[in-house]
Amino acid sequence: MIDQVPPVVVITGPTASGKSAVAVELALMMQGEIVSADSMMVYRGMDIGTAKPTISDMKGIPHHMTDILSPDQDFSVASYKEQAVSLITEILNRGRLPVLAGGTGLYIKALVRGIVYSPAAVCPDIRERLKAESQDLGDELMHRRLVGIDPESAVRLHVNDRKRVLRALEVYLSTGITQTEHDRRSQKDPGPFHYRVFGLRTDRARLYDRINKRVDDMMRSGLLQEVIQLRNQGYLQPGTTAAQAIGYKELVRYLDGNGSLNDAVEQIKMQTRRYAKRQMTWFNHMEEVEWLDVQAMDDARTIARNIQKELHSSSRKV
């Protein structure tokens, strides 16, 4: 019976759709704690560019899975799932509601569908060779190579997602089996939780306007200074996680003398809009998502109240 399974609420959607604020309001209403489902918020020092909630934004609600790694450390989907499941269990044991908030589709899919990742064999020599080749040939040619080997992974991965493109190539070259086939062979365990996934969406013009304004706000809040500081600490070297993040790589190019600051800001806006489009495509293919039209609601509290009503209504029906 669903009502006997511990509930976990997931709030997702494209970037700039207001997920974090809605999650906080819902947690306030339902005695919850928030677990981030954002692949960049795990990194310390990447605050402004990832729209990481401030102390004021958190409103006293505990937030988990943020600021746990330095930007030069790798972090896999399997590691995220393991830590998130442990946190969800701890939150439930405290008698509180786990609220996942974020837009990293792989993280959410791993939890909701209970995907068990069996790590493919790792060959350090192949990994280092691929890294060297990517430096010489560039991201586009490495992505094109993946198209010929594993077209399904290539379609899913952006050409500039160097880390995951190289990982997919590494898996094939190490095992003779594509990353797509490894994923198909992964066992699935639904786990002990019942996930309710709510997606926030609005019309594209309104979303893109929110994205553009948010980038402008980030610049006013000191994003360039944040990038300079990370760079001075050695975290924005080619191939590091931070160097691939939207907002960071564009400003690094500017600091290297490629284009004006205005050009860099416009690139950030364009790449963020493209990312939002990819997120919507991803979540539209997840049948678990219950979509909410946030344009028809006034604010984060109103949206959270509607989610709360839906949760109570469905629990009475069971």
The verdict on 7 and 63 lying in the same domain is: yes
Burial of 203 (0-12, 13-18, 19+ CB in 10 A): exposed
The verdict on 138 and 241 lying in the same domain is: no
Laid out side by side, the sheet with 63-64 consists of 63-64, 32-36, 97-101, 7-12, 194-201, 289-293
Please give the pLDDT value at position 150: 93
**pLDDT tens per residue across span 176-229:** 888 888 777 765 666 789 999 999 999 999 999 999 999 999 999 999 999 999
The verdict on 33 and 176 lying in the same domain is: no
Please give the pLDDT value at position 1: 40
* Mean pLDDT in residue range 292-297: 82
Number of domains making up the chain: 2
Please give the pLDDT value at position 2: 45
Contacts of 122 (CB under 8 A, 6+ apart): 170, 174
The verdict on 49 and 100 lying in the same domain is: yes
Residue 97 near residue 27, CB atoms below 8 Å: yes
The residue with greater pLDDT, 298 or 163, is 163
Please give the pLDDT value at position 5: 66
Taking 3-state DSSP, the helix, strand and coil percentages for the chain, each rounded to the nearest 5, stand at: 55, 10, 30
Please give the pLDDT value at position 318: 46
Residue 21 near residue 58, CB atoms below 8 Å: no
Rounded to 5°, angle at Cα 14 from 66 and 104: 40
* Mean pLDDT in residue range 83-90: 96
The verdict on 168 and 31 lying in the same domain is: no
Question: Residue 131's pLDDT band (boundaries 50, 70, 90)?
Answer: confident
Please give the pLDDT value at position 4: 59
The verdict on 192 and 277 lying in the same domain is: yes
Position of tokens 């094109």? 144
The verdict on 18 and 111 lying in the same domain is: yes
* Mean pLDDT in residue range 304-310: 95
Distance (Å, whole) CA 219 – CA 134: 30
CATH code: domain of residue 128: 1.10.20.140
Long-range CB pairs of 225-230 (<8 Å, 24+ gap) are: 226/45, 226/46, 226/47, 226/48, 226/49, 227/49, 227/251, 227/252, 227/255, 228/255, 229/45, 230/45, 230/46, 230/71
Length of the chain in residues, anyone? 318
Boundaries of domain holding 157: 124-185
Question: Residue 236's pLDDT band (boundaries 50, 70, 90)?
Answer: confident
The verdict on 207 and 234 lying in the same domain is: yes
CATH code: domain of residue 235: 3.40.50.300
Q: Which of 114-118, 175-179, 294-298 has the highest mean pLDDT?
A: 175-179
The verdict on 139 and 250 lying in the same domain is: no
| Mean pLDDT across the chain | 90
The verdict on 194 and 104 lying in the same domain is: yes
The residue with greater pLDDT, 316 or 16, is 16
